[in-house]
Amino acid sequence: MNARKLFAIVRREFSAYFASPLGYILLFAYYLIGGYFFWLIVSRTRAATMSYIFQNLTFIFLFTSPLITMRLWSEEEKNGTAELLKTSPLTLWEIVVGKYLGACSFFLVMSAGTLVYLVFILSLGNPDLLPLLSNYLGYFLAVMAFFAIGLFASTISENQIVAAIISFGVLLILWVIGVAGESAGGNLGDFLKYVSILSHTDDFYKGVIDLSHVFYLLSLIFMGLFFSVKVLESKRS
Amino acid sequence: MIEVKDLTKTYGNLAAIDKISFSVPKGTILGLLGPNGAGKTTTMRILTTSLAPTSGKATVAGFDVVTAPQEVRKHIGYLPEVPPIYNEMSVISYLRFVADIKEVPESKKANRVGEVLEMLDLGKMSLRLIGHLSLGFRQRVGLAQALIHDPDVLILDEPTRGLDPKQILEIRKLIKSLSGQRTIILSTHILPEVSSTCDDVIIVDQGKIVAADSVENLSQRLAGGKILDLEIKGSADEIGKALEKIDGVAAVKPLGRESRGVSRFEVSTDGSLETREELFNCVVKNKWVLYQLSPVGVSLEDVFLKLTTKDTAL
């Protein structure tokens, strides 16, 4: 992977979010809702912890990440710019990873809001630092996994709305499948619980970093990117 | 520079292109001519590595499009049917982006972007958003993108699509000026485009090549100067009768009366120079006045229609 070419794609992708009202609307809505939740949680619990807010933010991304990722490839197909990327000396991995990191950069900007919460928590309370780190890690990995799935959905359809619906559907299934696992019981139940995202994010929010959860979320990310590359590859033939 | 051998692309049972073979020597402008859906875009997409062929072989600048796509991509500039532009970017930031992904050396990037802007007369537009530009300017930005890495081969899919007549002339002039060192393939279904821009022409229809030759040869082979256009001052009836009697004249078709008693005729002949002399002598003998005697070349349009509407062997 060539750093210059990769960075060019990341930068273009990132700035594309600020070229349409959607990016600003998402940012505004996210800061507003996040801030409201933070105020609500802190004023009720009076606890110097960020785990609840991160749980809520992750949940918000379940609904909003399809809106952020739907355009990633669908738009290129629709505008005909896919042709430019495919006929430039770029590998499909450079394209896919570049786009993914571009979307993740936008996520970083969205998450900058949480630094404000952090400042409040640190100045008003006396929280343990390690659980905070664990909270952040879980939140980042979970949302980045959402994004990888959304990118994959976007490679499937030229229509952004369809892409958003697909990624939301997949995320929702991965989210609630654990509940089905609870009632199913047995090996199947264990399997379903293992597949569920929820069962892999809870520990992070309790302040525990379990490498198996890290592995699960990283695998989701890798699979999302891998299958995106495969879909683009299949479009050539 | 470009070699294509038995190239085939099928979608299910449908062959978009069927065993197409041709080669384009360095410095040539080749016109790919054909009705919509003939396989022009498919051929171009394979040559630009955007699409993989079902079978057959294609090389660009010596590199195989299937086994060495990255090398091919470095040597081609491609303008697809729809210019691949980002509406939300300014012209200059778009070209910088393309320069990055097309490996224009960082040290030459600023220069090269400037050169291309100037070449396409986009200087004044460089800070405008592409989405706010007119169709003609967008097409130019599309061309600028194809030229930014100074490729040996240019592949242009209907480069004048959607432009007004003045812009069409400008783009054609530009394409002409780009040839020389570069090898260019352009597709079109507009015939004058080929005769005014290209050296060679390939006519494709339903995925097959129906004719391939130089533009001049192609129209000559069909017509061969057998049809003459005459303008003579005198009585149209008398002239018509007299001309028909000449040996070597197959048919005389009156084309109506021009001003000042001048009549026009389309005369089909055997093509010999003697017949032309006889025509002239006949006019002199009858004391008519000859205003014009000129061979009519069959236009590319005739060739095109003839080839793509029925199987006429050339």
- Domain ranges across chain A: 3-236
The reply to whether B215 and B231 lie within a common domain is no
Return the pLDDT at B299. Answer: 61
Distance of alpha carbon B228 from alpha carbon B181, whole angstroms: 39
Query: What's the mean pLDDT in A172-177?
Result: 90
B69 and B87 Cβ atoms separated by less than 8 Å: no
Task: Note down the domain range covering B274.
Answer: 225-296
Ranges of chain B with pLDDT below 50: 311-314
Exposure of A92 by Cβ count < 10 A (0-12 exposed, 13-18 middle, 19+ buried)? middle
* C-beta neighbour count of A28 within 10 angstroms: 11
CB-CB neighbors (< 8 A) of B97 in chain A: 8, 11-12
CA atoms within 13 A on the CB side of B217: 9
Distances (CA, A) of A121 to A45, A135, B191, B314: 12, 13, 73, 85
Nearest CA in chain B to A5: B101
A113-116: long-range contacts (C-beta < 8 A, 24 or more apart)?
A113/A30, A113/A31, A113/A34, A113/A35, A114/A34, A114/A50, A114/A53, A114/A54, A114/A57, A114/A139, A116/A35
Return the pLDDT at A179. Answer: 84
For chain A, list residues whose CB is within 8 angstroms of any CB belonging to chain B.
4-5, 7-9, 11-12, 15-16, 19-20, 79-91, 236-237
| B182: in domain | yes
B118 and B153 Cβ atoms separated by less than 8 Å: no
At A31, is the pLDDT very low, low, confident or very high (cuts 50, 70, 90)? very high
Distance of alpha carbon B139 from alpha carbon B160, whole angstroms: 8
Q: Determine whether the interchain pair B73/A87 forms a contact, defined as Cβ–Cβ distance below 8 Å.
A: yes
Distance of alpha carbon B144 from alpha carbon B92, whole angstroms: 10
Supply the DSSP symbol for B78. E
Q: Is B313 helix (H, G, I), strand (E, B) or coil?
A: coil
Place of tokens 């399997």: A191
CB-CB neighbors (< 8 A) of A4 in chain B: 100, 106
End-to-end CA distance of chain A: 23
Return the pLDDT at B224. Answer: 54
| B22: in domain | yes
Mutation choice for A interface testing from B51, B55, B86 by most A CBs within 10 A? B86
Distance of alpha carbon B231 from alpha carbon B266, whole angstroms: 9
Tell me how far the alpha carbon of residue A134 is from its chain's centroid.
17
Q: Which of A8, A19, A89 comes nearest B97 by C-beta?
A: A8
Query: What's the mean pLDDT in A61-81?
Result: 94
Place of tokens 């970083």: A108
The reply to whether B269 and B195 lie within a common domain is no
Supply the DSSP symbol for B89. S
Least confident of A141-145, A195-199, B104-108: A195-199
Query: What's the mean pLDDT in A54-71?
Result: 92
Distance of alpha carbon B289 from alpha carbon B58, whole angstroms: 59
Closest chain A C-alpha to B167 CA, distance in angstroms: 22
Query: What's the mean pLDDT in A120-141?
Result: 90
Distance of alpha carbon B141 from alpha carbon B112, whole angstroms: 14
Exposure of B233 by Cβ count < 10 A (0-12 exposed, 13-18 middle, 19+ buried)? middle
Query: What's the mean pLDDT in A17-46?
Result: 90
Mutation choice for A interface testing from B60, B101, B185 by most A CBs within 10 A? B101
Least confident of A29-38, A215-224, B205-214: B205-214
Distance of alpha carbon A120 from alpha carbon A63, whole angstroms: 27
The reply to whether B200 and B238 lie within a common domain is no
At A96, is the pLDDT very low, low, confident or very high (cuts 50, 70, 90)? very high
CB-CB neighbors (< 8 A) of A5 in chain B: 100-101, 103
The reply to whether B189 and B292 lie within a common domain is no
The backbone torsions φ and ψ at residue B67, rounded to the nearest 5 degrees and listed phi first, read: -90, -25
B18-22: long-range contacts (C-beta < 8 A, 24 or more apart)?
B18/B206, B18/B207, B18/B208, B19/B56, B19/B208, B20/B56, B20/B204, B20/B207, B20/B208, B20/B209, B21/B209, B22/B202, B22/B209, B22/B212
The reply to whether B62 and B140 lie within a common domain is yes
**Count of domains forming chain B:** 2
Q: Kindly report the CATH number assigned to the domain that includes residue B31.
A: 3.40.50.300
The pair of three-digit structure tokens given for residue A140, joined into one six-digit string = 């980042």
The reply to whether B71 and B11 lie within a common domain is yes
* C-beta neighbour count of B213 within 10 angstroms: 16
CB-CB neighbors (< 8 A) of A88 in chain B: 73, 98, 101-102
Distance of alpha carbon A37 from alpha carbon A57, whole angstroms: 9
The reply to whether B47 and B175 lie within a common domain is yes
Q: Kindly report the CATH number assigned to the domain that includes residue B274.
A: 3.30.70.260
The reply to whether B8 and B33 lie within a common domain is yes
Nearest CA in chain A to B74: A89
| B308: in domain | no
Distance of alpha carbon A230 from alpha carbon B188, whole angstroms: 33
The reply to whether B142 and B275 lie within a common domain is no
Whether B240 has its CB under 8 Å from any CB of chain A: the answer is no
| B302: in domain | no
| B305: in domain | no
Distances (CA, A) of A33 to A30, A39, A88, A114, B49: 5, 10, 41, 12, 46
Nearest CA in chain B to A79: B84
The reply to whether B173 and B231 lie within a common domain is no
ipTM of the complex: 0.91
Closest chain B C-alpha to A93 CA, distance in angstroms: 13
